[in-house]
Amino acid sequence: MIELHDVRFAYPGSGGFALHVPALTVSPGERVALIGPSGSGKSTLLLLAGGVLLPHSGSVRVAGDDMTSLAASRRRSLRLRRIGMVFQEFELLDYLTVRDNIALAGRLDASIDRRTLASEAERLATAAGVAALLDRKPAALSQGERQRVAACRALATRPAALLCDEPTGNLDPSNADIVTRLLLDHARDHRAALLMSTHRHESLDVFDRVVDIASFRLRGGGR
Amino acid sequence: MNGLLGLALSHAWHARVRSSLIVVSVAIAAFIPLATAIVASSLEAALLRRADSTSLVIGGQGGRIDLVLAALYFRPSRTKSITTGDWMQLDADFPGKLVPLNVQHSAGGAPVVATPPDYLDARGFAIKQGTRATLVGEATPGRNAAERHGLSPGDGINSDQAASLDIAAPASIRLRITGVLAATGTPDDDAIFTDLKTAWVLAGLSHGHADAATAIPPPLLLDRTGERVVVSEAFVEDNEVTASNADSLHLHADETTLPLTAVLGLSLDDRERTLLRSRINAAGRLQAVEPGEVVREIMGHVARFTRAANVIAMAVTALTGLLVGMILTMSAKARSRELLTLERLGASRGQVAMLLAIEAVALTAMGMALAAAAGLALWLHPPDLVKLL
């Protein structure tokens, strides 16, 4: 579950920009689309939900843990093990193979069983249609294949929360559908709370709920 | 840690050109002082090993270092020769203790060391193949010289001519190989040993030819006035000492004035060495030097070179450090997006810093290992720097 309550945040030197989220809850297994114009604060909200940014006030709870009160190391560990993140620009490590990119969490946290992660990587790659590319480097993949690999990386630890920042923004409709379906199916099958920002208004009906960030109170510009 | 190590090494492999540049730079910076130390130590060991086995070197006036390098390492010398007369006088006072040596000639680039059998006995030579040279015109090469020229008993090798365009210079003489010496790990391995008389044949002071009065075909005999005989240039002197012409060998010089490079004191005790040295040096016409002292003098020069090389090595190390630092800083900057992603996914700043540090340490360690491997190879197969002295 993802719960944001009375969250307030402003970037230092942002000239008055501020984000205020009175309340936002995404239940286990629920798939929520986050919409809003560019610069409206969708990415910031996702980073707050993932504990990458800390709010000035309010609380952010993910899988029962209050991110605002956790020590940095615990927050980091939670992000690695319980939160999956997907970015618009894929952000794959170009020096690792597809297999190693998907199982990256195991390299950063010794307590994650790497053997389990490796078999999960193969299973996810098969589901995403990139099993034949497991030993290739990202440079040899198409845009759509890269984002499928990035989605697999986010799902590899079977996270309780999935935070996706415009994951289909750089993809053609066909690949966008594949990536969206992959993430939605995982959320449904593993009861993960999914919060995905998107501009694809034509496919919002696949989500359980749509939240317009404009409904939150904002001042100034945004990110 | 293992995970980060894997990540760091994967990145190092991915950026192979950059990594190679760092590894090679570190290796060069580490190898220069290492190589200098190894080469200096190897040179000192080689020089001392030889010097310690010789109590005294007696030779003509000239440079001490020149004399020792010629007598012990068979290097070309600019010191004045001493004569067989000098040697005979010394031998009368210290019978059986001194060994004369002539290293003024070469064959196939290898020094021809003309000396009595005493030298080979004193140095403890063993014969690997065939027998020792005992007659004029015979030669026994050391192991390296034999291998280099493919010599074995029954073969021959021509002496080198110092001035090939000088028609008055002694002709090249073919030396007959009777045996090959076993390896000793000393400069003796690179030399060709002959009897002293052979050196004088090579110098043109002793030669053999048919009797002009009876054996020269009349067409080649241009003029005869009493003892003076003029023969045609088509008449060829013997260029090899054989059983059939050995008896015709004769000297064209006084037996006491024949040239020697040096006389070695190989088995003198302390008293004999001190006595002989002071007597010869007091007389002033010749010089007697202790090789150990000369080697220390050479090592003094080498130490100055080593110090200069170390200063250069420090400058190279500093520049390398700067270069590697710049490359790593630029690399970290170029990877800022990737490093930010790692942090967003859950890596701590410490882990990210560790990732960069591991890669830097690993590449530095590889460079050091490369330098150590090259150093080991150099240590196992040091160059023969004595030849360069």
* Any domain includes B219: no
Structure tokens at B261: 């490079």
Quick check: A165 contacting B, CB < 8 Å? no
> Average pLDDT of B340-362?
92
**Mean pLDDT score across all residues of chain B:** 86
DSSP track, B210-248: --TTTTS-GGGEEEEETTEEEE-TT-----B--TTTGGG
- If asked whether residues B111 and B165 sit together in one domain, one would say yes
Domain identity same for B264 and B341: no
Residue B232 within a domain: no
Q: What is the mean pLDDT of residues A100-122?
A: 91
Distance CA A28, CA B130 (A): 95
* Domain-embedded: residue B166: yes
Contact B116/B195 with Cβ under 8 angstroms?
A: yes
Residues of A in contact with B342 (CB under 8 A): 108
Q: Which of B260, B289, B318 is the last residue of a domain?
A: B289
The residue from B289, B319, B342 where one domain ends is B289
Mean residue pLDDT across chain A: 89
Q: Are residues B124 and B195 in the same domain?
A: yes
Q: Model confidence over B287-329: pLDDT tens digits?
A: 999 998 888 888 888 888 888 888 988 898 899 899 889 999 9
Least confident of A131-145, B105-119, B202-216: B202-216
User: pTM of the entire structure?
Assistant: 0.71
Residue to test with chain B: of A43, A79, A95, most B Cβ within 10 A: A95
The reported pLDDT for the residue numbered B163 is 67
In a shared domain, residues B130 and B254: yes
- Domain final residue, candidates B239, B260, B289: B289
- Taking an 8 Å cut-off on Cβ atoms, the answer to whether A85 and B7 are in contact is no
Q: Does residue B266 sit in the same domain as residue B124?
A: yes
Question: How many domains in chain B?
Answer: 2
Clarify whether residues B113 and B6 are in a common domain: no
Tens-digit pLDDT profile for residues A39-74: 888 999 999 999 999 999 999 999 889 998 999 889
Interface of A with B in 104-133 (CB under 8 A): 104-110, 114
Q: Are residues B36 and B177 in the same domain?
A: no
Say if residue B119 is in the same domain as residue B200: yes
Q: How confident is the model at residue A217 (pLDDT cuts 50, 70, 90)?
A: low
Residues 68-97 of A with CB under 8 A from B: 72-73, 76-81, 83, 85, 87, 91, 93-96
Nearest to A76 among B7, B13, B346 (CB): B346
Pairwise CB contact (< 8 Å): A100 & B10: yes
Q: Report yes or no: B320 and A82 within 8 Å, Cβ to Cβ.
A: no
Residues B196 and B306 in one domain: no
Residue B238 lies in a domain: no
- Classify residue B81: in a domain, yes or no: yes
Check if B350 contacts A (Cβ < 8 Å): no
* B317 within domain boundaries: yes
Torsion (CA) A29, A30, A35, A39 in degrees, nearest 10: -50
- The reply to whether B336 and B264 lie within a common domain is no
Does B240 reside within a domain?
A: no
B159 and B192: one domain?
A: yes
**Residue-number span of the structural domain to which B310 is assigned:** 2-46+299-382
Position B236 in a domain: no
Specify whether B73 is located in the same domain as B143.
Answer: yes
Segment B64-87 shows an average pLDDT of: 88
Q: Which of A52, A79, A95 sits opposite B11 (nearest CB)?
A: A95
Share of residues in chain A with pLDDT > 70 (%): 95
